[in-house]
Amino acid sequence: MSGPVTLVWLEGAAESAAAGVHLDGTLRRLAALGADVHRVVAWRGGRGRVRRLARLLMGAVRQPRRGVVLVRWHPFALPALVAARLRGGACVVSAQGVLAEVEAVHPWIGRSRVARRLALLPLVLADRVVAPSAGIARWVVEVTGRPAHEVTVLENGADVGLFAAERRPPDEPPYAVFVGNLAPWQGVGDLVAAVRRPEWPHGLRLVVVGDGVERPAVEAAADAGVEWRGTLDRAAVAHVLGGATLAFATRGAVAASARGTSPFKVVEAAAAGLPVVATDVPGQAEVVHALGNGLVVPPGDPAALARAAARVVADAALRDRLCEHAVERVGAYDWTAGSDRLGAALAAAGRAVGRPRWGLRAPVDSDDERAVVTR
């Protein structure tokens, strides 16, 4: 690796948010590498979205000469990459989703071809890109036209030790857990509907951790045994998971899910020794199968969610087997387990430090799945 590393996270990185979990995990990986972290540009809390972004952008362009900047992909990430080039440095971008997911959060991007192209330019300009799933990596290759070997698949992970420390026999009365952003594409509505289905196991509460636009629907289901806990830090999330009977990892069959995802919730549940009921979307289903800790059901099917939960609750042998698989295999998903691949991407980018390179490929629109991504 060449030069100091600057991290730039323009998305809110509170500890309870996905971006915050990703930032903490990335710092753990860099620590395992012995990397020289020069500076972290991130917003850990507080209000004032415009003010926050302005301050982060100013911080993002203050970089040492001949360093490497590691940026979580964001519609306004371009200035950080340009600043790195101007100071003779190199750029690595972490693409945690596809453009459809970015547009779901920032709808104005989808209304303008120019805005879409500007949002994609960091992926084009980067010396290397890391992506949490093979599907997202293929998409990066397609929209940038860059060689597949410049895109590294680097799955998201978990602080396995933190969650493992909270493993304990399920609390009574029993409860299931959903942890995540309460956004429409997360399948929260389907989960709330599942609780009201006749197939839902009697006496099983649903504890929901997180916040978002679906919060009113969650609160309105209190009469059906749904309990909203709000946002919690990771230690508190680990404690809630540790006493659960099972966890849910739901996601809708929407454009934002089509190219794959690498869900924190599946790995964190496994680290806590829990079985998982997950919806069958790319990336997520593969993680569940690799861990062997859950049942996979079709997205958008509340009845299937309820039946799967009932099966886990009723079948003690199945539940024990899923829990054993989780504990045995989750070590491969500890944040530090992916350090070597992050280090290789940073080292490859570092070899470009000091070289003039301003030629750009134009972003393209493509749904072609022919590109092959190497690991």
Q: Indicate the average pLDDT of the chain.
A: 89
Q: Which residues contact 316 (CB under 8 A, 6 or more apart)?
A: none
Split at pLDDT 50, 70, 90, the class of 333 is very high
| Burial class of residue 222 in the structure, from the number of CB atoms within 10 Å of its CB (0-12 exposed, 13-18 middle, 19+ buried) | exposed
pLDDT score of 362 more than 80? no
CA-based nearest residue to 123, from 62, 60, 75: 75
* pLDDT at residue 185 in the model: 82
pLDDT score of 354 more than 70? no
* pLDDT at residue 183 in the model: 84
* pLDDT at residue 49 in the model: 74
Split at pLDDT 50, 70, 90, the class of 196 is very high
pTM of the model: 0.87
Check residue 252 and report its DSSP letter. Answer: -
**pLDDT tens-digit map of 51-110:** 888 899 999 999 999 899 999 999 999 999 999 999 999 999 999 988 988 887 788 898
* pLDDT at residue 221 in the model: 95
Split at pLDDT 50, 70, 90, the class of 375 is very low
**pLDDT tens-digit map of 215-265:** 999 999 999 999 999 999 999 999 999 999 999 999 887 666 666 677 889
Q: Which residues contact 272 (CB under 8 A, 6 or more apart)?
A: 163, 164, 166, 167, 238, 241, 242, 244, 247
C-beta neighbour count of 303 within 10 angstroms: 16
What residue type is 316 in one-letter code?
A
* pLDDT at residue 282 in the model: 85
Answer whether the bond into residue 173 is a cis peptide, omega within 30°: yes
pLDDT score of 373 more than 60? no
Domains of the chain listed by start with CATH number: 5-157+336-350 (3.40.50.2000), 160-333 (3.40.50.2000)
**pLDDT tens-digit map of 15-65:** 878 899 999 999 999 999 999 999 999 998 766 678 888 899 999 999 999
pLDDT score of 366 more than 50? no
